[in-house]
Amino acid sequence: MPGAHRNGDSRFCGATTTVTGQSTVSVDDKLWAVDGDKNSHGAGFLIPVVGHTVFIEDKKIIVAIGDTATADNLHHLPALAAPQGFSSTVSAY
């Protein structure tokens, strides 16, 4: 099962996720990433692919590895902007 991807967790391009899409659910003291959150390189908006049944504040959650992202402002393609880091204690699906 894929782990919860959170604020400050790494992306394959070396960026980190910046959670701005929700403010209520934390995993290991970090906000859980949701659909549309960007990364520290700018843009790289997260896209849920793996599951579509768990929501936080009406937005689909993000897990790593399996979900993806749009290209970021440093022109890292979606595969490189995708979530990499995750919680070792919480998973979904």
Task: Give Cβ neighbours of residue 62 (< 8 Å, ≥ 6 apart).
Answer: 4, 5, 17, 32, 33, 34, 35, 37, 46, 48, 83
Instruction: Identify the helix (H) or strand (E) that includes residue 68.
Output: strand 68-69
Residue 77 to residue 27: CA distance in whole angstroms: 27
Tokens found for residue 93: 């699906």
pTM of the prediction?
0.96
The answer to whether 60 and 49 have CB atoms below 8 angstroms apart is: no
pLDDT at 42: 97
Tokens found for residue 71: 């290209």
pLDDT tens-digit profile of 51-92?
Answer: 889 999 999 999 998 999 999 999 999 999 999 999 999 999
State the average pLDDT over residues 31-59. Answer: 96
The answer to whether 46 and 22 have CB atoms below 8 angstroms apart is: no
The confidence band for 22, taking pLDDT boundaries of 50, 70 and 90, is: very high
Q: 24 pLDDT exceeds 90?
A: yes
pLDDT at 51: 86
Tokens found for residue 31: 């906000």
Domain architecture of the chain: domains with CATH = 1-88 (2.60.200.60)
